[in-house]
Amino acid sequence: MSKQLALVIDLNVCVGCHACVTSCKEWNTSGSAGALPDERPYGKDPSGTFFNRVQTFEVGEFPNVETVHFPKSCLHCEDPPCVPVCPTGASYKREEDGIVLVDYDKCIGCEYCSWACPYGAREIDTRQKVMKKCTLCVDRIYDPELPESERKPACVLACPTSARLFGDVNDPDSEVSVAIREEGGYQLMPEWGTNPANHYLPRRKQRITIHEDELIRADSPLKKEGVHPHGPVEDVTLDDVTSW
């Protein structure tokens, strides 16, 4: 199978800190996908272009409720609906690594692709009048001037909980494939047939089971103080009331 680069996001450790959001913005605004403009940066209702955003929502009812932080960017679908709808061919999927990109020189800003994308992953740059989106930091990951360990998307390097894994989901031995396989990785809305390359790892719960007979051990330190660990026997016993 051909190479398909992707992010695998581990919701089990993502604390919703937004490090991925702004490190993406700072890398890409001055990179080959830049600039990422901001409208009204110091005014009312500020709104800018971000390739990656974190949504937070609640699941369940008090007290059985989960607060979920959910980072979302272009999922680099294996069958991306944004590509065939593009009238100019600006939206394309690379053969060599499966990254979905937009060629700004061809893009006319018609927004068909953003209508087609079921995940809302595309962001129109109203100043340059082109559609912009996550490139998986294509200008970092192949840069021979960077040390090997840093040829990763900015969000992956930034993430303090290393909740973002990066690699080839079609290579069964890659870190991302192993994580998807072993930790229950899933795609967003697979029923739409887009086959997103990015995956999410679910919350996993750790519990401790303590059996009642594990609570007090024979060497309980209470015994050393002359205290019976099961508490004083104050109620009447058979021994008190029977005389035969």
CB 26 within 8 A of CB 216: no
108 scored as a contact of another protein (CB under 8 A): no
Nearer to another protein, 91 or 187 (CB): 91
Nearer to another protein, 191 or 225 (CB): 225
Residues 39-58 that bind another protein (CB under 8 A): 39-48, 50, 58
Closest CA to 205 of 7, 13, 9, 8: 13
Closest CA to 22 of 193, 199, 155: 155
129 scored as a contact of another protein (CB under 8 A): no
CA 207, CA 102: separation in Å to the nearest integer? Answer: 46
235 scored as a contact of another protein (CB under 8 A): no
CB 213 within 8 A of CB 24: no
CB 137 within 8 A of CB 121: no
CA 122, CA 100: separation in Å to the nearest integer? Answer: 11
Residue from 2, 162, 189, 202 binding another protein (CB under 8 A): 162
Beta-ladder partners of 9: 164, 200
Q: Specify burial of residue 156 (Cβ count, 10 A radius: 0-12, 13-18, 19+).
A: buried
232 scored as a contact of another protein (CB under 8 A): no
Listed ranges 77-85, 110-118, 185-193, 198-206: which one lies at the site for another protein (CB under 8 A) = 198-206
Residue from 35, 110, 116, 188 binding another protein (CB under 8 A): 35
Residue from 96, 148, 213, 224 binding another protein (CB under 8 A): 224
Q: Centre a 10 Å sphere on the Cβ of residue 202 and count the other Cβ atoms it contains.
A: 12
30 scored as a contact of another protein (CB under 8 A): yes
* Beta pairing class for 91-93 and 199-201: unpaired
Count of residues near another protein by CB under 8 A: 88
206 scored as a contact of another protein (CB under 8 A): yes
Listed ranges 79-87, 170-178, 185-193, 221-229: which one lies at the site for another protein (CB under 8 A) = 221-229
Listed ranges 115-123, 166-174, 209-217, 233-241: which one lies at the site for another protein (CB under 8 A) = 209-217
Residue from 103, 129, 172, 186 binding another protein (CB under 8 A): 103
